[in-house]
Structure 1
């Protein structure tokens, strides 16, 4: 393959990347192998582990593969982790029966499953290791509001961790559809159509921290969208926060017209129905995504008027010990670059906690 686009690593990326990570949405839409269905034995293992943990008196912080034993499902989850890190990059785990559990028991079940995939990372300045995705009525115009706290569309983006997981507790009245796209496929398409714009995405882009600023850091961080290291393309991207950094921080580097065009083209490709994959969330569905090779989005949604019926998802940010090497530029956002110990949001005063019930 011809090498182009000189990057900070010892070699330049290829003009085209092959492999299972370079998937096309409509092709996968015709298949179901990305949906992993829990069987009766595995569900019983989860049930037993939930009740054993509750009976032990251990807190949620003690949840790990050792305390949440899954003799059959555990090895399957390790295989799924391999698919996340080295294959397609995503999975939908279906079949958890939430009618059997209280909210706390559902949290234990989800944390138990997630612990087999990686360590828990803080998802906000308050140190939430178990996050809640729901409409809180927050005003997105406020500089500290993040889009997952609203019913607004989430544009295609990555989260600040290796793996992000969602458990659907309650679905919306309408909308809120999950969409994902392969960032490897986006790179391939940009290289095929506009390699000059693909080259721009190897530049470092100022990205708004949304008020969650570590001690001594700027209110934004600088990182390239596309990164090539150890023969792998790693992507980190939140277009909405790149734009807000331009609006809110005059000291942040100003983007060039060509860089802005590159970001717009990336968004256009990500939203192309010929490339992205749509999936419906049912209560009990667990979605896990590898952020370094998957961008995810959500459509606007209309919620139920009754508070007890409103859309609600648990979220996990996970760091597997088996994670890939990351470029040095990720340290501005991820802190440590050590697999299993990186990612998440820590600021002065952050106290790690498991918030079972949303504020």
Structure 2
């Protein structure tokens, strides 16, 4: 399976994250089976092949997929939550998404504001979220209700970003593999760790980018070197090139999955009103298909071996 974990082909635009008709039909069949209480259907060879195809797309293909599920769209709230959570458990191994140990979390505006010196979890705000990687192998999202406006989800190919930097800023490209200080934001046993943005070797391709976590080490008295700032500027320039991102407009029943080692994702700011309150369900997953991680990722993922339960947020005493 190691050939799944090499640098995937760079891609741009929406088409790369759309499942083909056959895979989409099988995905919908799996959701319908779970919604109807027919868990045994998931053992069928057809759906076992579907599960493997999803992971192949996540690990070897574009690294992301998005689709609208008629089954989820038509479910009432409790059944929607139960079905999506069961589907995520079928797909992989859910990991803790916060210090409370939750593996399914509502993503909604909780009225807080994230800032450099007073960090808040982005999923609790209605702010724009810049392109980044999550602290898990795979992020799964399902829309229960959309915002009144905004909140579009965007995904870019990390391979494309690395290649663009190498082409446009060759003097900075080598810095992608140099460790940079990375704030743990109170969700680890240390204040910060040293992580490279890019690891690309025979073991596999891993690209982790979340600029605000590099910049917020300032609260620990750490100043980023000037060349590191130039590198982050170049990465931001890359991800904001016109036409490179796939965009997902969330409506009820729309699902998006992305591999945090081969893609970056972002969100536009959104606005709720009395009739529309944006609410997504989010689950973080590991699976037996996931790639090895560099040793430097151990404080962040708790384990760097492939195919094991890893990632997520754990209390410092058990990290």
**TM-score, with structure 1 as normaliser:** 0.79
2:282 corresponds to 1:315: yes
- C-alpha RMSD over aligned residues: 2.5
Secondary structure of the 1:128 match is coil
Please, which moves more after superposition, 124-133 or 108-117? 108-117
2:220 corresponds to 1:249: yes
> Is this contact kept in 1: 2:35–2:79, CA < 8 A?
no
> Is this contact kept in 2: 1:123–1:131, CA < 8 A?
yes
**Distance in 1 of aligned mates of 2:86 and 2:7:** 34
1:297-319 per-position Cα deviation (integer Å, ceiling 9, x unaligned): 0011111224xx30000001000
**What residue in structure 2 maps to residue 3 of structure 1?**
none
Secondary structure of the 1:201 match is helix
CA displacement at 1:41 relative to structure 2: 4.5
> Is this contact kept in 2: 1:34–1:90, CA < 8 A?
no
1:84-109 per-position Cα deviation (integer Å, ceiling 9, x unaligned): 11111111132143454343322221
Q: How does 1:23-172 map to 2 (within 5 A)?
A: 23-25=11-13, 28=15, 32-33=18-19, 37-38=24-25, 41-49=29-37, 69=42, 71=44, 72-98=46-72, 100-141=74-115, 143-172=118-147
**Distance in 2 of aligned mates of 1:316 and 1:125:** 14
- Rate the CA distance shift 1:151–1:231 in 2: closer, same or farther, 3 A: same
**Distance in 2 of aligned mates of 1:336 and 1:76:** 27
> Is this contact kept in 2: 1:201–1:263, CA < 8 A?
no
- Rate the CA distance shift 1:67–1:24 in 2: closer, same or farther, 3 A: same
> Is this contact kept in 2: 1:137–1:149, CA < 8 A?
yes
**What residue in structure 2 maps to residue 291 of structure 1?**
260
> Is this contact kept in 1: 2:18–2:67, CA < 8 A?
no
**Distance in 2 of aligned mates of 1:97 and 1:127:** 28
CA displacement at 1:296 relative to structure 2: 0.1
Q: Hey, which of these two has a bigger chunk of helix by percent?
A: 2
**What residue in structure 1 maps to residue 206 of structure 2?**
234
Please, which moves more after superposition, 106-115 or 314-323? 106-115
**Distance in 1 of aligned mates of 2:248 and 2:42:** 30
Please, which moves more after superposition, 194-203 or 312-321? 194-203
- Rate the CA distance shift 1:322–1:115 in 2: closer, same or farther, 3 A: same
**What residue in structure 2 maps to residue 260 of structure 1?**
229
CA displacement at 1:232 relative to structure 2: 3.0
**Distance in 1 of aligned mates of 2:173 and 2:260:** 19
Equivalent residue in structure 1 for 2:295, among 314, 319, 328: 328
Paired residues, number: 309
Equivalent residue in structure 2 for 1:274, among 228, 237, 243: 243
**Distance in 1 of aligned mates of 2:251 and 2:317:** 36
Structure 1: 5+ residue runs without aligned partners?
A: 1-16, 53-65, 351-359
CA displacement at 1:34 relative to structure 2: 6.2
Q: Which has the larger radius of gyration?
A: 1
**TM-score, with structure 2 as normaliser:** 0.88
**What residue in structure 1 maps to residue 314 of structure 2?**
346
Structure 2: 5+ residue runs without aligned partners?
A: 1-5
CA displacement at 1:110 relative to structure 2: 1.0
**Distance in 2 of aligned mates of 1:206 and 1:133:** 27
